[in-house]
Protein backbone atom coordinates (compact mmCIF):
# COMPACT_ATOMS: atom_id res chain seq x y z
CA UNK A 1 0.00 0.00 0.00
CA UNK A 2 1.44 3.38 -0.95
CA UNK A 3 1.55 6.29 1.41
CA UNK A 4 -0.66 8.54 -0.70
CA UNK A 5 -2.61 10.18 2.11
CA UNK A 6 -5.47 12.43 1.18
CA UNK A 7 -8.09 13.95 3.39
CA UNK A 8 -11.75 13.06 3.50
CA UNK A 9 -14.40 14.78 5.58
CA UNK A 10 -17.65 13.04 6.44
CA UNK A 11 -20.51 15.46 6.99
CA UNK A 12 -22.72 13.82 9.58
CA UNK A 13 -26.28 14.63 10.59
CA UNK A 14 -28.90 13.18 12.86
CA UNK A 15 -32.44 14.34 13.42
CA UNK A 16 -34.09 13.73 16.75
CA UNK A 17 -37.87 13.64 16.79
CA UNK A 18 -39.91 15.92 19.01
CA UNK A 19 -40.54 14.35 22.43
CA UNK A 20 -37.62 11.92 22.01
CA UNK A 21 -36.74 10.65 25.50
CA UNK A 22 -33.34 10.83 27.13
CA UNK A 23 -30.87 8.24 25.78
CA UNK A 24 -32.50 8.01 22.35
CA UNK A 25 -30.11 6.37 19.86
CA UNK A 26 -30.16 7.81 16.35
CA UNK A 27 -28.21 6.52 13.33
CA UNK A 28 -26.10 9.25 11.82
CA UNK A 29 -26.36 10.09 8.14
CA UNK A 30 -22.90 10.42 6.57
CA UNK A 31 -21.97 12.20 3.35
CA UNK A 32 -18.57 12.08 1.66
CA UNK A 33 -19.62 14.98 -0.58
CA UNK A 34 -22.51 17.47 -0.59
CA UNK A 35 -23.52 16.08 -3.99
CA UNK A 36 -24.30 12.58 -2.70
CA UNK A 37 -27.14 11.41 -0.47
CA UNK A 38 -26.43 10.69 3.19
CA UNK A 39 -26.13 7.02 4.11
CA UNK A 40 -26.09 5.30 7.51
CA UNK A 41 -23.35 2.86 6.46
CA UNK A 42 -20.18 3.47 4.48
CA UNK A 43 -17.93 0.75 3.15
CA UNK A 44 -14.25 1.59 2.83
CA UNK A 45 -13.10 0.75 -0.71
CA UNK A 46 -11.06 -2.48 -0.80
CA UNK A 47 -8.01 -0.64 -2.12
CA UNK A 48 -8.00 1.98 0.68
CA UNK A 49 -7.61 2.34 4.43
CA UNK A 50 -9.25 5.17 6.35
CA UNK A 51 -8.14 6.58 9.70
CA UNK A 52 -10.54 8.78 11.69
CA UNK A 53 -8.42 11.59 13.11
CA UNK A 54 -10.93 14.14 14.43
CA UNK A 55 -14.59 14.84 15.12
CA UNK A 56 -15.69 18.45 15.36
CA UNK A 57 -18.59 20.89 15.14
CA UNK A 58 -18.05 23.87 12.83
CA UNK A 59 -20.52 26.27 14.45
CA UNK A 60 -22.54 26.36 17.64
CA UNK A 61 -25.88 26.61 15.74
CA UNK A 62 -25.18 23.10 14.46
CA UNK A 63 -25.91 22.03 18.02
CA UNK A 64 -29.31 22.30 19.59
CA UNK A 65 -30.89 25.53 20.69
CA UNK A 66 -33.15 25.85 23.75
CA UNK A 67 -36.87 26.16 23.15
CA UNK A 68 -39.43 27.29 25.68
CA UNK A 69 -36.82 26.98 28.41
CA UNK A 70 -36.07 23.33 27.59
CA UNK A 71 -33.04 22.09 25.70
CA UNK A 72 -33.73 20.22 22.48
CA UNK A 73 -30.95 17.70 21.76
CA UNK A 74 -28.17 19.18 23.83
CA UNK A 75 -24.80 17.48 23.95
CA UNK A 76 -25.33 14.29 21.99
CA UNK A 77 -22.48 11.78 22.11
CA UNK A 78 -21.16 10.23 18.90
CA UNK A 79 -20.25 6.55 18.77
CA UNK A 80 -18.28 4.84 15.98
CA UNK A 81 -19.19 1.29 14.98
CA UNK A 82 -17.11 -1.02 12.80
CA UNK A 83 -18.51 -3.91 10.76
CA UNK A 84 -22.04 -3.63 12.20
CA UNK A 85 -21.33 -4.44 15.79
CA UNK A 86 -17.97 -3.46 17.20
CA UNK A 87 -18.22 -0.12 18.99
CA UNK A 88 -14.80 1.50 18.72
CA UNK A 89 -15.14 4.73 20.67
CA UNK A 90 -17.67 7.11 22.14
CA UNK A 91 -16.71 10.76 21.70
CA UNK A 92 -17.11 13.50 24.30
CA UNK A 93 -20.35 15.53 24.11
CA UNK A 94 -20.53 17.50 20.86
CA UNK A 95 -20.76 20.86 22.66
CA UNK A 96 -17.12 20.31 23.73
CA UNK A 97 -16.13 19.56 20.12
CA UNK A 98 -16.64 23.08 18.69
CA UNK A 99 -13.69 23.60 16.35
CA UNK A 100 -12.97 27.08 17.74
CA UNK A 101 -12.67 25.71 21.28
CA UNK A 102 -8.97 25.93 22.19
CA UNK A 103 -9.39 23.31 24.92
CA UNK A 104 -11.34 20.89 22.71
CA UNK A 105 -10.66 17.33 23.86
CA UNK A 106 -9.48 14.59 21.52
CA UNK A 107 -12.41 12.60 20.16
CA UNK A 108 -10.58 9.38 21.00
CA UNK A 109 -7.42 8.42 22.90
CA UNK A 110 -6.00 7.29 19.54
CA UNK A 111 -7.00 7.51 15.86
CA UNK A 112 -9.47 4.87 14.67
CA UNK A 113 -8.50 2.71 11.68
CA UNK A 114 -10.82 1.19 9.08
CA UNK A 115 -9.16 -1.21 6.65
CA UNK A 116 -10.44 -1.86 3.13
CA UNK A 117 -13.87 -3.51 3.15
CA UNK A 118 -14.76 -2.27 6.65
CA UNK A 119 -18.23 -0.88 7.26
CA UNK A 120 -18.44 2.39 9.18
CA UNK A 121 -21.52 3.44 11.12
CA UNK A 122 -22.03 6.32 13.53
CA UNK A 123 -24.71 6.68 16.19
CA UNK A 124 -25.74 9.66 18.30
CA UNK A 125 -27.10 9.45 21.84
CA UNK A 126 -29.00 12.41 23.26
CA UNK A 127 -28.62 13.37 26.90
CA UNK A 128 -31.81 15.28 27.47
CA UNK A 129 -35.46 15.39 26.55
CA UNK A 130 -36.02 16.65 22.99
CA UNK A 131 -38.66 19.35 22.99
CA UNK A 132 -38.78 20.10 19.24
CA UNK A 133 -37.63 18.29 16.14
CA UNK A 134 -33.90 18.94 16.06
CA UNK A 135 -31.26 18.34 13.41
CA UNK A 136 -27.71 18.13 14.77
CA UNK A 137 -24.56 18.20 12.65
CA UNK A 138 -20.86 17.43 13.00
CA UNK A 139 -17.91 16.56 10.78
CA UNK A 140 -15.40 13.72 10.94
CA UNK A 141 -11.93 14.08 9.42
CA UNK A 142 -10.40 10.95 7.88
CA UNK A 143 -7.01 10.25 6.37
CA UNK A 144 -7.29 8.04 3.32
CA UNK A 145 -4.39 5.79 2.26
CA UNK A 146 -4.53 4.28 -1.19
* Structure confidence at residue 105 (pLDDT): 84
C-alpha 75/C-alpha 90 separation (Å) is 13
* Structure confidence at residue 1 (pLDDT): 42
Q: Label the pairing between strands 49-56 and 25-27.
A: unpaired
* Structure confidence at residue 134 (pLDDT): 61
**For 128, which DSSP code?**
S
Are residues 36 and 29 in contact, defined by beta-carbon separation less than 8 angstroms? no
* Structure confidence at residue 130 (pLDDT): 58
* Structure confidence at residue 141 (pLDDT): 81
Q: Pick out the chain residues at pLDDT < 50.
A: 1-3, 62, 64-73
* Structure confidence at residue 115 (pLDDT): 93
Instruction: Write out pLDDT tens, residues 2-22.
Output: 445 578 888 888 777 767 777
Domains of the chain: 5-145 (2.60.120)
C-alpha 77/C-alpha 101 separation (Å) is 17
C-alpha 58/C-alpha 94 separation (Å) is 11
* Structure confidence at residue 68 (pLDDT): 47
* Structure confidence at residue 39 (pLDDT): 94
C-alpha 130/C-alpha 63 separation (Å) is 12
Amino acid sequence: MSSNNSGLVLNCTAQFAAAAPVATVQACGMQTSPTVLAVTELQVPLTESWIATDVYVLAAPALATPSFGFPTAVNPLVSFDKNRGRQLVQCPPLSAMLITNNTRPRFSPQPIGFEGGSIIRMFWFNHSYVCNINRTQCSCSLKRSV
